[in-house]
Amino acid sequence: MAELHIQPKKPAPSPWLLVILAVVVLGVAAYFFLRPDPKDEPSAPATSGPTAPVADTLAPNSPAAESRAAVPADNDSVTRQAAAQPAAASPARTVLLEMSATLTQLVDRADLRDDASIREQRDNFTSATARLADGDPNASLRPGFVAAASLLQAVQQKGYPNLEAETNKLLRQANQLSGHDATPAEQAQNKEYLAQLSELLNMVSYPAKDIL
């Protein structure tokens, strides 16, 4: 004689439990994919390059003027760096690319990186120098020059009001450049601009309280 039995079905897990689980999984995934890249974190500035040490390493009481006096003459550094590069790369292009690292580190400083205008100008600068960094021989230097001057102007407007005249002059200077580095006249203009850019970069490398 047969016997057949039935039983209640085991309750399925609550749909809300599945929803919560999905949200947790999405949250964890978003955390790992969207967290700030360690490379984007502000780091200690590089000690090599055409510019002087950056402000964060400066003792708070040291006067900026003294520190600036210790910086080697930038016109000389332009010449030295150009000599070290292959013949295909112009001196101005080389110096601009080397300065781009320092500029990028500068605008990553805690008091500057959250400013929308600075971020925008930084993006412009990165775009303008991308072709130069790729080694495109036909790329004009002018967009990079103008973007660098604009970026420094944004930094000046953020915390260095007494450098307004210098940054305005630098921007005018950048706009007047041809963007080429072929003739001696162009090289001289570029060198002058880069020297001015380097000097201003040194100034804004120090905290504003040391400059003001």
Partner 1 sequence: MSQPTIVRRMRDLPDFEMAPNSPDVRGWLVRGGDGQPLGTVDELLVDPEARQVLYLNVVLEAGLPHVPPPAPHTDHRILLPVAAVNIDTEGQSVFVTQLRRDTVAAYPPFVDFMLPPDFEASMQQALG
The residue ranges that bind partner 1 (CB under 8 A) are 1-9
Q: How far is the CB of 13 from partner 1 (least distance, A)?
A: 16
Q: How far is the CB of 20 from partner 1 (least distance, A)?
A: 25
In angstroms, what is the minimal distance from the CB of 21 to partner 1?
24
d(CA 16, CA 21): 8
**Residue 10 beta carbon to partner 1: minimum distance, rounded to whole angstroms:** 9
Select 9 or 35, whichever has its Cβ closest to partner 1. 9
Contacts (Cβ under 8 Å, ≥6 apart) of 117: 154, 157, 158
Closest CB to partner 1 among residues 15, 184:
15
Q: Which is nearer to partner 1, 6 or 34 (CB)?
A: 6
Q: Taking the CB of residue 187, how many other CB atoms lie within 10 A of it? A: 17
**Ramachandran region of residue 188, left (φ > 0), alpha (ψ -120 to 50) or beta?**
alpha
Compare residues 8 and 60 and give the one whose CB is closer to partner 1: 8
Q: Is residue 151 a contact partner of residue 122, using CB atoms and an 8 Å limit?
A: yes
Q: What are phi and psi of 43, to 5 degrees?
A: -125, 170
Residue 113's alpha-carbon distances to 36, 51, 173, in angstroms, are 14, 20, 26
CB of 19 to partner 1, least distance (A): 23
For the CB of residue 12, give the shortest distance to partner 1 in the complex, in Å. Answer: 11
Residue with Cβ nearer partner 1 (7 or 61): 7
Gap between the Cα atoms of 210 and 212, Å rounded: 6
Q: Are 163 and 211 in contact (CB under 8 A)?
A: yes
When the beta carbons of 4 and 59 are compared against partner 1, the nearer one is 4
